[in-house]
């Protein structure tokens, strides 16, 4: 017993002799994602945000250091629960797929209801980062889920991949085209029939005749070898899309020291920029690769593209009416988004905020 007492009295002395380390200096955080780090919106968290956070803190002379725990590939949460995982603090930082949250975050889906605005993903991501800083309704959607968007993410523009050549939109008449979710509305007026599916199912659906083609992103389609069963690629340019981003649990954010918050805010912007650059590089690589591997790549003539655009119903107007009936200021967000795009020198191929 005496030995134990003496040892207990020695503990303060031993602690004082150890290298100086307090809870104020060491911050423990978890970074996660519902998909593989091979996907840019997940991978950039691993390759940029986690290692760069401590490099920047050290360079700034901060006394703080983050000890990261990383869990990607759905180890902590699956894609249907990306929003809730950060809301409850299952992970401190992670990627949220806002495109799946049409009920909780309808305003974040505005780009999916405004096709033919821009193919410039990097511009779009920068724009949405700004909009989340200046538009209360957008920020409030994240706040209601106990989190803050640090950096927007998105995908490259959508094109058409088919088993048959497309020279005019009349060639789509009666054809079954894979276009899940809101993208199904992009086919209205073309005569095509929208079929539900996903990247992992497209190859089989097309090869078995369930569908005659797909509206998709080349950066995603190429790894799945979709061009092998749909070798006619028609560059339509339906537009890049904002699909969510890297978010942080709000309780975690409020506990962080000011200098750590500043670094994480900077990294949010850098996350978007790096992610956009990787996606666009993969798009360029995929476009070159499918042509080299025997696919026929053509650009839809401007006149036919205009026919497609003009033949669409009022997709945005219908979305606004539906969202506003549920109490969301969709009309305001639509106008703010397109005005901000025009202020940057852009011009939508259809003015979705104007009466149709």
- Domain assignment present for residue 18? The answer is no
- Domain assignment present for residue 184? The answer is yes
- Domain assignment present for residue 310? The answer is yes
- Which pTM was predicted? 0.90
List of the chain residues with pLDDT < 70: 1-24
> How would you label 135-169 residue by residue, b for 16+ Cβ within 10 Å and e otherwise?
beebeebbeebbbbbbbbbbbbbbbbbbbeebeeb
What is the predicted pLDDT for the residue at 24?
Answer: 54
What is the predicted pLDDT for the residue at 7?
Answer: 31
What is the predicted pLDDT for the residue at 264?
Answer: 98
- Domain assignment present for residue 330? The answer is yes
- Domain assignment present for residue 334? The answer is yes
Q: What's the CA angle centered on 169, arms 165 and 170, to 5 degrees?
A: 90
- Domain assignment present for residue 8? The answer is no
What is the predicted pLDDT for the residue at 5?
Answer: 36
Task: Give the domain range for residue 173.
Answer: 158-239+293-343
- Domain assignment present for residue 173? The answer is yes
What is the predicted pLDDT for the residue at 79?
Answer: 85
Number of domains in the chain: 1
Residues 278/316, Cβ–Cβ less than 8 Å: no
Q: Which CATH number is 332's domain given?
A: 3.40.190.170
- Domain assignment present for residue 326? The answer is yes
């Amino acid at each position: 017993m005496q030995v134990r007492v003496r040892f207990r009295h020695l503990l303060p002395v031993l602690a004082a002799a150890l290298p100086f380390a307090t809870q104020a200096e060491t911050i423990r955080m978890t970074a996660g994602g519902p998909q593989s780090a091979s996907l840019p919106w997940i991978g950039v968290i691993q390759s940029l945000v986690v290692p760069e956070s401590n490099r920047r803190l050290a360079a700034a002379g901060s006394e703080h250091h983050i000890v990261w725990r990383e869990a990607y590939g759905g180890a902590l949460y699956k894609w249907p629960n990306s929003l809730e995982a950060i809301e409850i603090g299952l992970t401190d930082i992670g990627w949220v797929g806002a495109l799946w949250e049409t009920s909780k975050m309808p305003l974040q889906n505005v780009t999916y209801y405004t096709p033919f605005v821009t193919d410039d993903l990097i511009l779009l991501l920068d724009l949405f980062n700004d909009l989340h800083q200046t538009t209360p309704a957008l920020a409030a959607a994240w706040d209601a889920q106990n989190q803050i968007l640090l950096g927007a993410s998105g995908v490259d523009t959508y094109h058409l991949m088919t088993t048959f050549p497309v020279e005019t939109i009349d060639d789509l008449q009666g054809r079954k085209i894979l276009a899940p979710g809101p993208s199904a509305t992009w086919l209205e007026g073309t005569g095509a029939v929208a079929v539900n599916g996903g990247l992992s199912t497209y190859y089989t659906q097309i090869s078995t005749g369930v569908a005659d083609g797909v509206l998709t992103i080349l950066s995603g389609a190429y790894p799945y070898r979709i061009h092998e069963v749909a070798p006619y690629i028609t560059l339509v340019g339906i537009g890049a899309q904002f699909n969510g981003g890297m978010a942080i649990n709000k309780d975690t954010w409020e506990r962080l020291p000011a200098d750590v918050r500043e670094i994480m805010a900077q990294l949010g912007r850098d996350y978007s920029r790096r992610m956009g650059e990787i996606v666009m590089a993969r798009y360029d690589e995929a476009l070159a690769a499918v042509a080299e591997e025997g696919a026929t790549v053509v650009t839809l003539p401007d006149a036919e593209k205009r026919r497609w655009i003009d033949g669409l119903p009022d997709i945005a107007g219908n979305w606004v009416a539906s969202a506003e009936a549920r109490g969301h200021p969709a009309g305001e967000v639509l106008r703010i988004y397109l005005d901000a795009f025009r202020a940057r020198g852009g011009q939508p191929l259809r003015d979705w905020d104007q009466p149709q």
